[in-house]
């Protein structure tokens, strides 16, 4: 089966019509679509999923299928074009098919709000002829069984689904394992076993009916009829119990999903409370910062003047120094002048008291005249010293407040606070959006419902085991009495009994075959997956993979022991190995991979790209340039690269798919 | 109000335009307009402005000098840094405030009103202007 093309109209970010030609040519079976994050890669995967199964999911594991209104392109919505369409054209067993799914607003003039506002239509054309509903459903189930869609539509972000396989006994793991068995064709054998068992019972019933008319077998006929009737009743009970169990399991799964969602929403509430408390504290601090800043600015005028004050203060202090120097010099001159005058007046030296000689008197007179001259030349500095001292005193009182440093610190704190507040606002908006639909009453109801369902399931399991045990006992007894009374009695009775015995052998054969096939397929899957894994992994310490009951694959080290811890990248390689093995073990088909290399390094990426073309008959890669560049795609894929596309995102409301020039086309 | 008056005045004024500018500045940065007015005077002094650009401006009374300069610290600094007569100090303050308010408003409008930078800038401008004064005095 090959998908020829995909066509999307007003689907998610794709406003108007967009198409992808995916048809492989010769050995070129890989199509690459490049797109940035949030650009619309997953929407292409969702487009295919919605067209095939009527479901589209947001990223994030167990999300609910998205309502139709969320699938409608926002630009189209604004333009009042309320119609979505997805078409998948494919070929299968020599016929051309076109699957079309559309959703159109019932009232074209009113913007739809819920799914009930849309009319959904699905049609499947086989060689241009419309198939009836039954034929459509049957064909799609054969071509694209939903249970195994995870192996066809691979989302690199949802690897945990594959990791669940390693947890033997997990409900999700069992479901995936069952899907894998479906992909491998095991149901054909199990159906054969069931049909043989059914036929055996039919023949046994007919034989018992014939025995009623055979002399000597009346008692056997009576007992057989009684046992057949009891077995029928038990089987009906078992069937009913299984139906109830399956329905309760589905209901439990839905309830668990709702509870998990509510749990996330509840965590969202707690986070909102914590964020609001931080927001409040930040806003309060911002108000304090405003007040503190105003306080700093109130006194900052002095800081503005400090440099000039310092200069002026230095100038005045210099002048005061000049005044002091003048006073000292003047006092010294006056003292010396007084001493000399006294010596002349007393005719004796002031210092030693000796009489003055004539020459000495002359020298003193000259010195006195020089000093008089010096005193007369010694000019008093400008300004009043007391006034200058007062000015310096006043200037010294002006204190620097450190305003500049304080302002810088407060502004830095405010910037940081603004940034944090902005982040909190964005986070709060996202969280509020996420918890918008939270209903605590519904959550409590769901929790009570889960408890009740678990109890109910426990009861059903006990009843089922009991009924199964009784049925096996009765069937064994029925087989025994049938065999005991089968020989030596000719005619139709014997033929019926022989046919029943043959069916019993067939049932046993199917049972053994089923085990053998399962084991053989597991061996195959393990072998192919190991080969693929070894071709893709760059770690030489790994020697292969080992499969478990649920088709979970464990990595083996060089001693053949399971590697207990594995990296996210290793998980991805293991998941891809499983997909390759499943595709090779059954008829090879199409694989669409969204962000498959997100967790991988360059070497693994290269190994996988070189192995990919052998993975399936058709591979579509939805990648961002961080995973695979436009230059590397042809380098690693070579001739296998049929063509490539790129997703452009001209505005937040629309994305466009454009063909690229790389590829063999 | 005549800013050249030699009578020691009891109030200081501000033009209508500058008053509006100061109000806007105070709303955003100061707790009171008086703080902004005082900052404006200091800014002009620090930047070495004479404030004479606005000599002809008609002003209205802004505040009592007793409120603006309770301890006369501002007046003393104007006398020391501006070198004017004592009776002219508040007239000078008024002119300087006019210049300072407009300078802050100009920067605010251009999105460049950064008080910390202004203080650092005033440090450089003030020091060089004081040096010029000192050289001139020599």
Q: Does the beta-carbon distance from B80 to A404 stay under 8 Å?
A: no
Distance (Å, whole) CA A102 – CA A86: 6
Please work out, in degrees rounded to the nearest 5, the angle formed at the alpha carbon of residue A176 by the alpha carbons of A471 and A465: 20
- pLDDT range class, residue B125, cuts 50, 70, 90: low
- pLDDT range class, residue A166, cuts 50, 70, 90: low
Helix-helix angle B115-137:A403-434, to 10 degrees: 160
pLDDT in tens, A333-351: 989 989 888 888 888 888 7
Residue A321 has pLDDT above 90, yes or no: yes
Question: How close is the nearest chain B Cα to the Cα of A379, in Å?
Answer: 17
Q: Does the beta-carbon distance from A403 to B119 stay under 8 Å?
A: yes
Measured between CA atoms, the residue of chain B closest to residue A405 is B116
Cβ-defined contacts of A652-655 (< 8 Å, 24+): A653/A13, A653/A15, A653/A73, A653/A74, A653/A75, A653/A78, A654/A13, A654/A14, A654/A15, A654/A73, A654/A74, A654/A75, A655/A13, A655/A14, A655/A35, A655/A39, A655/A40, A655/A43
Measured CA to CA in angstroms, residue A164 lies from A149, A167, A177, A248 at distances of 16, 5, 10, 21
Sign of CA dihedral B60, B65, B68, B73: positive
How crowded is the C-beta side of A189, counted as CA atoms within 13 Å? 18
Residue B2 has pLDDT above 60, yes or no: no
Measured between CA atoms, the residue of chain B closest to residue A298 is B35
**pLDDT number for residue B134:** 44
**pLDDT number for residue A587:** 56
B27 Cβ under 8 Å from any chain A Cβ: no
B119 Cβ under 8 Å from any chain A Cβ: yes
Tell me the average pLDDT of chain A. 86
pLDDT in tens, B89-120: 999 999 999 999 999 999 999 988 999 999 98
Distance (Å, whole) CA A322 – CA A479: 134
A480 Cβ under 8 Å from any chain B Cβ: no
Question: Nearest by CB to B43, which of A298, A304, A404?
Answer: A304
pLDDT in tens, A116-164: 889 999 999 999 999 999 999 888 888 887 767 777 887 766 665 666 6
Spell out the SS3 assignment of A246-310.
HHHHHHHHHHHHHHHHHHHHHHHHHHHHHHHHHHHHHHHHHHHHHHHHHHHHHHHHHHHHHHHHH
**pLDDT number for residue A59:** 61
In the predicted model, what is the mean pLDDT of residues A257-270?
84
Question: Nearest by CB to B39, which of A301, A394, A407?
Answer: A301
Residue A662 has pLDDT above 70, yes or no: no
In the predicted model, what is the mean pLDDT of residues A86-95?
93
A298 Cβ under 8 Å from any chain B Cβ: yes
- pLDDT range class, residue B132, cuts 50, 70, 90: very low
Collect all residues of chain A within an 8 Å Cβ-Cβ radius of residue B123: 306-307
Given a contact cutoff of 8 angstroms between Cβ atoms, the answer to whether A597 and A628 are in contact is yes
Exposure letters A439-455 (e unless 16+ CB within 10 A, then b): eeeebeebeebbeebee
Question: Nearest by CB to B35, which of A297, A303, A408?
Answer: A297
Q: Does the beta-carbon distance from B30 to A298 stay under 8 Å?
A: yes
pLDDT in tens, A19-32: 999 998 878 899 99
Mutate one of B69, B77, B92, B124 to test the A interface: name it (highest A CB count within 10 A).
Answer: B77
Identify the three-state secondary structure at position A626. coil
Per-domain boundaries in chain B:
11-137
In the predicted model, what is the mean pLDDT of residues A98-114?
90
Collect all residues of chain A within an 8 Å Cβ-Cβ radius of residue B30: 294, 297-298
Measured CA to CA in angstroms, residue A176 lies from A140, A219, A475, A608 at distances of 19, 49, 32, 24
Question: How close is the nearest chain B Cα to the Cα of A428, in Å?
Answer: 28
Strands (E), A511-653: 544-547, 553-556, 590-594, 618-623, 641-651
Closest residue by Cα to residue B32 from A225, A184, A74, A299:
A299
B132 Cβ under 8 Å from any chain A Cβ: no
Distance (Å, whole) CA A164 – CA A571: 11
Distance (Å, whole) CA B27 – CA A339: 73
List beta partners, residue A31.
A620, A643
Q: Does the beta-carbon distance from B42 to A302 stay under 8 Å?
A: yes
Given a contact cutoff of 8 angstroms between Cβ atoms, the answer to whether A367 and A340 are in contact is yes
pLDDT in tens, A600-637: 788 888 888 888 887 778 899 999 888 888 888 888 88
- pLDDT range class, residue A473, cuts 50, 70, 90: very high
Q: Classify strands A654-659 and A590-594 as parallel, antiparallel or unpaired.
A: unpaired
B43 Cβ under 8 Å from any chain A Cβ: yes
Question: How close is the nearest chain B Cα to the Cα of A408, in Å?
Answer: 6
Q: Does the beta-carbon distance from B126 to A307 stay under 8 Å?
A: yes
Measured between CA atoms, the residue of chain B closest to residue A310 is B127
In the predicted model, what is the mean pLDDT of residues B64-77?
91
**CB atoms closer than 10 angstroms to residue A200:** 23
- pLDDT range class, residue B3, cuts 50, 70, 90: very low
pLDDT in tens, A42-67: 899 999 999 999 988 876 444 678 88
Sequential DSSP letters for A595-611: STTTT--HHHHHHHHHH
Distance (Å, whole) CA A71 – CA A94: 33
Collect all residues of chain A within an 8 Å Cβ-Cβ radius of residue B121: none
Question: Nearest by CB to A301, which of B29, B38, B124?
Answer: B38
Q: Does the beta-carbon distance from B46 to A394 stay under 8 Å?
A: no
pLDDT in tens, A211-231: 888 878 888 888 888 998 999
**pLDDT number for residue A144:** 81
Residue B9 has pLDDT above 90, yes or no: no
Residue A564 tokens, joined: 């207990």
Residue count of chain B: 138
pLDDT in tens, A384-431: 899 899 989 888 888 888 999 999 999 999 989 998 999 899 889 888
Closest residue by Cα to residue A425 from A634, A278, A632:
A278
A81 Cβ under 8 Å from any chain B Cβ: no
Distance (Å, whole) CA A103 – CA A84: 5
Question: Which residues, other chains included, contact A400 with Cβ-Cβ below 8 Å and sequence gap of 6+?
Answer: A302, A303, A306
The DSSP call for residue A558 is T
Q: Classify strands A30-34 and A83-92 as parallel, antiparallel or unpaired.
A: unpaired
**pLDDT number for residue A488:** 62
Collect all residues of chain A within an 8 Å Cβ-Cβ radius of residue B75: none
Question: How close is the nearest chain A Cα to the Cα of B117, in Å?
Answer: 7
Where is pLDDT greater, at A86 or A487?
A86
In the predicted model, what is the mean pLDDT of residues A419-444?
86
- pLDDT range class, residue A461, cuts 50, 70, 90: very high
The DSSP call for residue A616 is S
Given a contact cutoff of 8 angstroms between Cβ atoms, the answer to whether A543 and A558 are in contact is yes
Distance (Å, whole) CA A459 – CA A218: 40
Q: Which segments of B48-86 does DSSP mark as H helices, in order?
A: 65-68, 73-82
A306 Cβ under 8 Å from any chain B Cβ: yes
Distance (Å, whole) CA A628 – CA A646: 12
B127 Cβ under 8 Å from any chain A Cβ: yes
Please work out, in degrees rounded to the nearest 5, the angle formed at the alpha carbon of residue A390 by the alpha carbons of A387 and A394: 140
Which H helix or E strand runs over A129?
Answer: strand A129-130
Sequential DSSP letters for A352-385: T-PBPPHHHHHHHHHHHHHHHHHHHH-PPPSS-H
Q: Classify strands A641-651 and A129-130 as parallel, antiparallel or unpaired.
A: unpaired
The DSSP call for residue A73 is -
Residue A88 has pLDDT above 90, yes or no: yes
Cβ-defined contacts of A519-523 (< 8 Å, 24+): A521/A184, A521/A186, A521/A585, A522/A547, A522/A551
Identify the three-state secondary structure at position A635. helix
A394 Cβ under 8 Å from any chain B Cβ: yes
B136 Cβ under 8 Å from any chain A Cβ: no
Q: Does the beta-carbon distance from A301 to B76 stay under 8 Å?
A: no
Question: Nearest by CB to A404, which of B45, B120, B130?
Answer: B120
First to last CA, chain A: 21
Mutate one of B70, B119, B129, B136 to test the A interface: name it (highest A CB count within 10 A).
Answer: B119
Question: Nearest by CB to A304, which of B42, B73, B76?
Answer: B42
In the predicted model, what is the mean pLDDT of residues A70-91?
92
Distance (Å, whole) CA A9 – CA A281: 48
């Amino acid at each position: 089966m090959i998908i020829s093309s995909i066509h999307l109209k007003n689907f998610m970010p794709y406003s108007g019509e967009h198409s992808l030609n995916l048809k492989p040519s010769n050995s070129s079976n890989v199509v690459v679509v490049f797109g940035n994050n949030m650009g619309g890669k997953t929407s292409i995967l969702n487009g295919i999923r919605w067209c095939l199964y009527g479901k589209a999911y947001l990223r994030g594991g167990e999300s609910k299928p998205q309502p139709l209104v969320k699938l409608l392109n926002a630009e189209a919505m604004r333009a009042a074009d309320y119609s979505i369409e997805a078409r998948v054209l494919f070929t299968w067993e020599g016929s051309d098919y076109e699957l079309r799914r559309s959703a159109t607003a019932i009232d074209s003039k009113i913007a739809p709000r819920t799914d009930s506002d849309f009319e959904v239509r699905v049609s499947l054309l086989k060689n241009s002829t419309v198939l009836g509903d039954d034929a459509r459903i049957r064909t799609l189930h054969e071509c694209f069984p939903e249970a195994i869609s995870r192996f066809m539509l691979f989302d690199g972000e949802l690897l945990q689904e594959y990791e669940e396989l390693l947890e033997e006994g997990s409900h999700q793991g069992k479901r995936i394992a069952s899907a894998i068995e479906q992909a491998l064709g095991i149901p054909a054998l199990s159906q054969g076993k069931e049909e043989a068992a059914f036929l055996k019972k039919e023949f046994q019933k007919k034989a018992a009916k014939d025995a009623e008319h055979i002399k000597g077998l009346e008692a056997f006929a009576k007992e057989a009829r009684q046992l057949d009737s009891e077995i029928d009743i038990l089987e009906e009970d078992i069937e009913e119990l299984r139906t109830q169990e399956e329905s309760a399991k589905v209901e439990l799964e839905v309830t668990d999903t709702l509870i998990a969602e509510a749990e996330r929403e509840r965590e969202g509430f707690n986070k909102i409370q914590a964020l609001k408390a931080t927001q409040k504290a930040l806003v309060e601090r911002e108000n304090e910062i405003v007040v503190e800043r105003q306080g700093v600015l109130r006194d900052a005028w002095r800081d503005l003047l400090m440099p000039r004050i310092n200069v002026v203060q230095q100038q005045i202090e210099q002048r005061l120094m000049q005044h002091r120097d003048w006073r000292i010099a003047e006092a010294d001159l006056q003292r010396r002048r007084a001493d000399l005058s006294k010596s002349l007046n007393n005719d004796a030296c002031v210092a030693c008291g000796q009489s003055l000689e004539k020459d000495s008197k002359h020298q003193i007179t000259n010195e006195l005249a020089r000093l008089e001259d010096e005193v007369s030349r010694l000019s008093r500095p400008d300004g009043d010293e007391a006034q200058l001292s007062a000015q310096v005193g006043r200037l010294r009182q002006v204190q620097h407040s450190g305003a500049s440093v304080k302002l810088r610190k407060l502004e830095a704190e405010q910037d940081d606070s603004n940034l944090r507040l902005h982040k909190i606002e964005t986070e709060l908006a996202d969280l509020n959006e996420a918890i918008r639909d939270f209903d605590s009453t519904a959550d409590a109801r769901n929790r009570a419902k889960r408890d009740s369902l678990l109890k109910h399931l426990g009861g059903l399991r006990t009843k089922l085991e009991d009924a199964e045990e009784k049925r096996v006992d009765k069937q064994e007894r029925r087989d025994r009495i049938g065999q005991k009374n089968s020989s030596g009695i000719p005619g139709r009775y014997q033929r019926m009994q022989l046919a029943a015995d043959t069916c019993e052998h067939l049932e046993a054969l199917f049972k053994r075959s089923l085990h053998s096939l399962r084991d053989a397929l597991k061996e195959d899957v393990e072998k192919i997956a190991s080969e693929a894994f070894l071709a893709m992994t760059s770690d030489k310490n790994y020697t292969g993979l080992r499969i478990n009951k649920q088709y979970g694959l464990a990595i083996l080290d060089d001693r053949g022991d399971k590697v207990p811890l594995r990296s996210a990248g290793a998980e991805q390689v293991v998941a891809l190995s499983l997909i390759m093995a499943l595709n090779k073990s059954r008829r090879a088909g199409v694989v669409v991979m969204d962000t498959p290399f997100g967790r991988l390094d360059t070497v693994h990426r290269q190994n996988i790209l070189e192995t990919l073309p052998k993975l399936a008959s058709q591979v579509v890669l939805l990648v961002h340039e961080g995973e695979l560049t436009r230059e590397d795609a042809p380098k690693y894929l070579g001739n296998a690269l049929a063509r490539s596309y790129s997703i452009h995102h001209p505005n937040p409301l629309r994305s466009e798919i454009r063909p690229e020039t790389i590829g063999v086309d | 109000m005549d800013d050249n008056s030699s009578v020691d005045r009891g109030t200081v004024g501000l033009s209508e335009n500058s008053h509006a500018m100061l109000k806007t500045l105070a709303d955003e940065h100061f707790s009171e307009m008086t703080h902004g007015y005082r900052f404006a005077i200091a800014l002009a002094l620090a930047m070495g402005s004479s404030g004479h650009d606005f000599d002809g401006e008609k002003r209205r009374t802004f505040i009592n000098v007793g409120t603006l300069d309770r301890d006369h610290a501002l007046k003393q600094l104007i006398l020391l840094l501006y070198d004017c007569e004592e009776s002219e100090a508040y007239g000078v303050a008024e002119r300087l405030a006019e210049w300072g308010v407009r300078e802050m408003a100009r920067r605010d409008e251009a999105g460049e009103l950064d008080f910390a930078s202004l203080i650092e800038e005033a440090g450089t401008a003030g020091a060089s202007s004081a040096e010029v004064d000192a050289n001139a005095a020599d």
